[in-house]
Amino acid sequence: MLFPTITFAIFFLVVYVANWLLMPRLRLWKWTLIAASYVFYGWWDWRLVLLLVGATLVNQALGVQIYRARVSPSSGVAAKRLLIAAVAANLVTLGVFKYFDFFTVNLNDVLGAFGLGAPLPLLQVLLPVGISFLVFRMLTYVIDIYRGELAPAPWLDYAVYTAFFPYLLAGPIARAREFLPQLTSPRDPRAVDAPRAFLLILVGLAKKLLIADYLATNLVNGLFASPQQYSSWETLWGICAYSVQIYCDFSAYSDIAIGISLLLGFELPANFDAPYTARALQDFWRRWHITLSSWLRDYLYIPLGGNRKGRGRTYANLVITFLLGGLWHGAAWTFVLWGGMHGVGLAVERARSDMRRRRGLPEPGRTVGARALQRAAVFAFVSVAWVFFRAESIGSAFAVLWRLVAGLGSIGENVTLTVAGLTVLGVAMQYVPRRLSERCEAGLGRIGWVGQGVLLALALFLIDTLGPPGAAEFLYFKF
């Protein structure tokens, strides 16, 4: 079930009414949320619900056991073993569904190169949509219990946390300690943050249908499929357009997920904060997919030693974290390379910063021009890295980049005024001050439900009429 469809609108209206009517009866309310989430997930393939149920049962059982072992006077080792078992169970699940065939094929190639053995078997199983997000949520739960930062939740609450449909497919990666407290008591039905929710949903729909899908159909898909048909000028725009497309696509999903959660009375963490205004890579990762990057920081970078074991280890930890973060996105070397580029970029940036600090030099970017250059440099680096993220193979990525120099001579006709305008808009919108959106929210709140309804109608009409027929899947579903 895709968000921008009539099917989902009807589904959501039913869930919305049931949510607020049943909320005072907590137990029934939670069962309703679980049922709605299972219907939402099972809409793709009913077998996926079994995975959801299995993940809930196994992680909750292990979480409870870890907690018991933790508080028992003599079983610290047992808690650790249970944690290892829980982490292994989740990673094995992810590995079987997502990475098994990838690593088997590569291992087969290596063994074959040395003339060793028969080919290893492939599983060729269905990849459950959003499994990576699911596994990250499961891991935060058991690890936080082990760390003493979380108590096991009741089964019913945990089942809601596992399956809550707004973030089920593509995040934000809400942590258990952020989400579970919201299940302990009913919200005040007189205090729904509808203005903010409506604004988030409409902006999300517009970003997805009017910008991301248009750029994909009219420039990006063609460029990455047949780069030899595109001039240098078109390639340059195409690379920038993909940067805008992936932002508008993924942040749209997050916006809509946060918006519909707000309407149901839940608050989810923000996932994006104007990432293309970043003046440094470190800054970019504070603004892009915030819940993933903070997850990687807390559950990977810091356990690896973070910046506490010397400069060399810090740089290495950054690279390792981002290599694994890249691999998390998909079972392909292109994602590993993309992650590696960011890891190395962050390490280099940090080394430069350390050097400047040691020499007592001031931080760069003290003038407006210098800051603009920094922003342009970060955008350029990130956009080039996105080429590897988008391309079907490393060779294809280089074929696209090669067109930047090999396609000189003609301008081509693929960069239309609309394509160019939407690409610029996709970047420019990130420079809109936050207070403007807050004013819009406040304004929307002042006009009452009739005004809000009329505005919703106009916006939905414009988005559907101006947008392409049908909605494409969100890019991050496959991760």
Known catalytic residues are 329
Min CB(50)–other proteins separation in Å: 18
Tell which positions 407-436 bind other proteins, by CB under 8 A.
Answer: none
Binding to other proteins in span 51-80, by CB under 8 A: 60, 63-64, 67-76, 79-80
What is the Cα–Cα distance from 464 to 457, expressed in whole angstroms? 11
Size of the site for other proteins (CB under 8 A): 123
Backbone angles phi, psi at 188, to 5 degrees: -80, 115
Give 179 or 386: the residue with its C-beta nearer to other proteins.
179
Residues between 159 and 178 that touch other proteins (CB under 8 A): 175-178
Give whichever of 71 and 96 is closer to other proteins, judged by the CB atom: 71
Nearest approach, Cβ of residue 107 and other proteins (Å) = 10
Instruction: Give one word for 172, left, alpha or beta, with left for phi > 0 and alpha for psi -120 to 50.
Output: beta
Q: Is 153 in the site for other proteins (CB under 8 A)?
A: yes
Distance of closest approach, residue 282 Cβ to other proteins, in angstroms? 5
CB of 122 to other proteins, least distance (A): 6
3-state class (DSSP) for residue 279? coil
CA angle 42, 44, 47 (to 5 degrees): 50
Distance of CA 270 to the CA centre of its chain: 11
- Long-range Cβ contact pairs of 441-448 (< 8 A, separation 24 or more): 441/195, 441/196, 441/199, 442/195, 444/195, 444/198, 444/199, 445/194, 445/195
Among 4, 166, 259, 265, indicate the residue that binds other proteins (CB under 8 A). Answer: 265
Please select the residue that binds other proteins; options are 36, 89, 134, 290, rule is CB under 8 A. Answer: 290
User: In terms of C-beta distances under 8 Å and separation of at least 24 residues, what long-range contacts does 24-31 make, across chains too?
Assistant: 24/186, 26/183, 26/185, 26/186, 27/156, 29/186, 30/156, 30/157, 30/159, 30/160, 30/183, 31/156
Smallest distance from the beta carbon of 339 to other proteins, in angstroms? 14
207 binds other proteins (CB under 8 A): no
Nearer to other proteins, 150 or 168 (CB): 150
Residue closest to 175 by CA, chosen among 255, 271, 310, 102: 271
The correct pick among 42, 95, 186, 412 for binding other proteins (CB under 8 A) is: 186
Q: Which helix (H) or strand (E) holds 316?
A: helix 311-329
Q: Which stretch binds other proteins (CB under 8 A): 34-42, 119-127, 230-238, 368-376?
A: 119-127
Site string for other proteins, 224-253 (x = CB under 8 A): -xx-xx------------------------
Q: Which 383-412 positions form the footprint of other proteins (CB under 8 A)?
A: 392-393, 396
What minimum distance in Å lies between the beta carbon of 39 and other proteins? 16
Minimum distance, C-beta of residue 203 to other proteins, in the bound complex (Å): 14
Find out whether 277 and 431 touch, Cβ atoms under 8 Å.
Answer: yes
User: With binding defined as CB under 8 A, does residue 359 bind other proteins?
Assistant: no
Residue 273 or 384 with smaller CB distance to other proteins: 273
Judged by beta carbon, residue 215 or residue 346, the one nearer other proteins is: 346
**Measured at the alpha carbon of residue 446, what is the angle toward residues 440 and 452, in degrees to the nearest 5?**
75
Whole-angstrom Cα distance, residue 66 to residue 87?
Answer: 12
Among residues 51, 81, 218, 267, which is the contact residue for other proteins, using CB under 8 A?
267
Residue 141: count of CB within 10 angstroms of its CB:
28
Asked if residue 195 has a cis previous peptide bond (ω within 30° of 0), the answer is no
> Nearer Cβ to other proteins, position 40 or 198?
198
Residue with tokens 């053995």: 117
